[in-house]
Chains A and B, each alone.
Chain A
Amino acid sequence: DTGVSQNPRHKITKRGQNVTFRCDPISEHNRLYWYRQTLGQGPEFLTYFQNEAQLEKSRLLSDRFSAERPKGSFSTLEIQRTEQGDSAMYLCASSVGQGRVYNEQFFGPGTRLTVL
């Protein structure tokens, strides 16, 4: 399967715990994006990378959230001291991405986080 993959697919945690999600983009895609989708809403942009450089961060990405893409391949999204409001589907996407023009984004299946 050469699509975007995300692990784990589901994560249940207790409030206050830290969680980390992984995203593997389509091979040779330069750009990697993170979105969050809550119930009844569309995906909301969190951040994106061009290779290993983080180019933009949303105001939704509080200081408890950190995303990395250390070698320009896979990415991790960590949430520290989780809160119940963090419960959502976390979606990763990738594109061939060059410049500030439209690039088709291919989405992974998402990681569903439930914070108890």
Chain B
Amino acid sequence: DQQVKQNSPSLSVQEGRISILNCDYTNSMFDYFLWYKKYPAEGPTFLISISSIKDKNEDGRFTVFLNKSAKHLSLHIVPSQPGDSAVYFCAAHRLNTDKLIFGTGTRLQVFP
């Protein structure tokens, strides 16, 4: 039972353009949603989060949008840079526990 889904395994974007990564979830008991970035041979690095009571959170080039009625969130990166090339994981924090449930990841490649 995949509660957090990232349906696009990969995305390729030109430098300077916008990258949009998508995530869907099925459980209404999630209270926070997060995006992590992962480089090879490293652990995931926290990028940005959003509370379930918000619909947008922005941090520099990164913006996360939450659509609760559609159970969908997205991460926008603008402008995209070659250093953004990594695997991005969407994760959800379940209310009344302290564990994260991750999607399967989207590999982003930003080319010059």
Residues of A within 8 A of B (CB): 4, 31, 33, 35, 40-45, 48, 55-56, 58, 91, 93, 95, 97, 100-110
Determine whether the beta carbon of A108 is less than 8 Å from that of B43.
Answer: yes
* Interface secondary structure of A, over-half rule: loop
Residues of B within 8 A of A (CB): 4, 6, 31-32, 36, 41-46, 49, 89, 91, 93, 95-105
Determine whether the beta carbon of B44 is less than 8 Å from that of A43.
Answer: yes
* Cβ of B62 to closest chain A Cβ, rounded Å: 15
Cβ-neighbour of A42 out of B32, B46, B91 (below 8 A): B91
In the A-B complex, the 9 residue pairs with the smallest Cβ-Cβ separation, listed nearest first, are A42-B102, A107-B43, A102-B32, A45-B99, A102-B93, A100-B96, A107-B44, A43-B102, A109-B43
* Cβ of A45 to closest chain B Cβ, rounded Å: 4
Taking A45-B99, A100-B96, A101-B98 as known contacts, 13 extra A-B pairs with beta carbons closer than 8 A to each other, sorted by chain A number, are A41-B105, A42-B89, A43-B44, A55-B98, A58-B99, A95-B98, A97-B98, A100-B97, A102-B49, A103-B98, A105-B46, A105-B100, A107-B44
